[in-house]
Structure 1
């Protein structure tokens, strides 16, 4: 027996997942000609924002696990967008830096990220946007607290 669900019965996880995939596809479409995925872009953006981060911090800031971050950093390094330097105090860790090519790519593609945000702002008011961002941040922080407590 199949049950039909209306929008009010959709789960939060389902709606957030669906919305994320649609936003990501919109961003990916804009990035297509630059040979970089939204996931790679977000990691590169974090490296550009604060150079010399270790992989663990990049993973946390970009919302990715460590194995995924390692894979993405390897791709970015292969494309000549970042480089790694062994940590001075800990030989097992390394710091990540952006190259001029990587910095130019972020500068050229950041307007695409802005366009995606502008599209969202076209369908909700400024107050709704601020409320949405505040709620998402609160949910994010709450989930971090739950996960850190495990």
Structure 2
């Protein structure tokens, strides 16, 4: 069978790779009832708690309506709390439970990344990161 042009498309390959990675990571997080997207939010909050929902959306590169749904789910799971920041916004904080499981989640994330770069040299990994950052920047310029 002849290879499709689609199969050699950079966009298609990036998209499928990202989806496959997300699915792998989701399966590995399943026991913790955490999604990869929630892992990102927890990680951003570990970096700086007490930021607003709007700031969290910016740092996580998520749309505000999507962040609202994710935070509502995390609130229901007991992973975050929301406290008034000013009259128009809420500050987001991690619960002790979220901080405790984050250590395990980080181990899972590190192992997943180790598994997907298996067989690659440090130079290849550095090159891959550089290229992905460049592609991401080019996409941002194309809006």
Q: Which aligned runs of 4 or more in structure 1 are off by greater than 4 angstroms? A: 6-9
Give the TM-score normalised by the residue count of structure 1. Answer: 0.86
Aligned-pair distance for 1:116?
A: 1.1
Q: Is the 8 A contact 2:49 2:94 kept in 1?
A: yes
Gaps of 5+ in 2: none
**Distance in 1 of aligned mates of 2:5 and 2:50:** 45
* Number of equivalent positions: 143
**Distance in 2 of aligned mates of 1:8 and 1:100:** 46
The aligned residue for residue 47 of structure 1 is 45
In the alignment, is residue 100 of structure 1 matched against residue 96 of structure 2? Answer: yes
Aligned-pair distance for 1:9?
A: 5.6
Q: Is the 8 A contact 1:44 1:76 kept in 2?
A: no
Aligned-pair distance for 1:85?
A: 1.3
The aligned residue for residue 143 of structure 1 is 139
Q: Is the 8 A contact 2:7 2:13 kept in 1?
A: no
Q: Is the 8 A contact 1:31 1:37 kept in 2?
A: yes
The aligned residue for residue 16 of structure 2 is 18
Give the TM-score normalised by the residue count of structure 2. Answer: 0.89
Gaps of 5+ in 1: none
